[in-house]
A = this chain, B = another copy of it.
Amino acid sequence: MAALGIKDIAALANVSPATVSRVFSAPEMVSKKTLEKVQKVIDESGYRPNRIGASLRTRKSGNIVAIIPDITNPVNAGIIRAIEQKAHTAGYSVLLGDTQGLHEREQHYADLVTHGQADGVLLFCSSIPFKTDPTLNLAQQLPPMVNGNEKIDSDEVVQVAVDNVAAAKRAVKHLIDLGHKYIAAVTGPDDIASSNERLEGYRSALEDANIPLDSGLCIQGEYDVESGMKCAGQLLLLRQRPTAIFCFSDDMAIGVMKFVQKQGFSVPEDISVMGFDDINYAQLVSPALTTVHQPLEEIGGLCIELLLKQLKGEYVEPGRRFLPFELKVRGSTGPAPT
């Protein structure tokens, strides 16, 4: 069953390939009569137009590639789902580029667009995986692209995220308001921009409250549950133990909560724990996790929207766009022990 092509259909229907093509892409410019005739042949033959052929001609693949560190992370999964839905209704398919944090992989997936396999990039990491000529205008060297959830150090790329410094600041303020003075931070890897921004917010909140910054209270984690546990272990060893721990991800927060509870402390009576992200499971652990809500659906949605706009050829103002976060106060934070 050698798949038949547009020419075969044309022959069967006694029209030219051009007409068949128009039946799909511009039916209004073919007469009703021939339209029906061709349609009938198409239906009867089960003809499936080959999109590769079309892509070659139109120079559009109909794909976009989403580059994310780890699909297993609920934050990313939520964003990806939103993207996928909207891309689908816009007629695009999404290629999943799970990098596991490897730059080499970022490169690889970015290459999909330079190789014509994708028309645009959704980038959820903090560096531009394209070789660019620094003497030239950056924006002109980039394909349609939007950076989500992270920060790229350039005001020429369009970016959407939550205001991490404001959000972290708000979170820490919550702890300060509860009377905490020894507030630890469990950060993410230091090559991740969002983590550094959250750290800045943490510092800023302490500064506003005239609480001296104690670098011993800042521990670097890996954003996952295990590293949360590990960091909690380190924090509990401190001579002056923190009364509150602000974690830069819910997973880490859940990890520290588990660990401190296992050590016999109670949350929040002895130690308050705060997360960041508001993944589904944040409400389901005990006690429910106080955290900063990120609007995943909106983030993903805006990213893809802005990308689609670019793909349509519309101009999209570069720069950052902030989406609103929300402090979710639940059971894992409480007044500082006296």
Binding site for B on A (CB under 8 A): 46, 48-53, 55-56, 61-63, 65, 70-72, 74, 77-78, 80-81, 84-85, 88, 93-98, 100, 105, 108-109, 111-112, 114-117, 131, 225, 254, 258, 280-281, 284-286
Report which residue of A80, A109, A116, A131 has the largest number of chain B beta carbons within 10 angstroms of its beta carbon: A116
Report which residue of A49, A51, A97, A111 has the largest number of chain B beta carbons within 10 angstroms of its beta carbon: A51
Q: With A48-B111, A81-B72 given, is the CB distance from A284 to B225 under 8 Å? A: yes
Contact status B48-A56, CB under 8 Å: no
Report which residue of A55, A65, A105, A258 has the largest number of chain B beta carbons within 10 angstroms of its beta carbon: A55
Which residues of chain B are near A284, meaning CB under 8 Å? 225, 254, 258, 281, 285
Give CA–CA (A115, B48) in the complex, Å.
6
Q: Nearest B residue to A48 by beta-carbon distance?
A: B114
Beyond the given A72-B74, A85-B98, A93-B112, could you list 18 further A-B residue pairs with CB under 8 A, ordered by the A residue number?
Answer: A46-B131, A49-B115, A50-B115, A50-B116, A51-B117, A52-B56, A52-B116, A56-B56, A63-B95, A71-B81, A74-B74, A77-B77, A81-B98, A88-B105, A95-B96, A225-B280, A258-B284, A281-B284
Which residues of chain B are near A109, meaning CB under 8 Å? 93
Q: With A88-B108, A258-B284 given, is the CB distance from A71 to B74 under 8 Å? A: no
Contact status A117-B52, CB under 8 Å: yes
Chain B nearest CB, measured from A107 CB (Å):
12
Give CA–CA (A261, B258) in the complex, Å.
19
Q: With A81-B98, A286-B286 given, is the CB distance from A52 to B61 under 8 Å? A: yes
Cβ contacts A to B, 30 pairs, < 8 Å: A46-B131, A48-B114, A51-B116, A52-B55, A52-B56, A52-B116, A52-B117, A53-B116, A62-B117, A70-B81, A71-B77, A71-B84, A72-B74, A72-B77, A72-B81, A77-B77, A84-B98, A85-B98, A88-B105, A88-B108, A93-B109, A93-B112, A94-B96, A95-B95, A225-B280, A254-B284, A258-B284, A281-B281, A281-B284, A284-B285
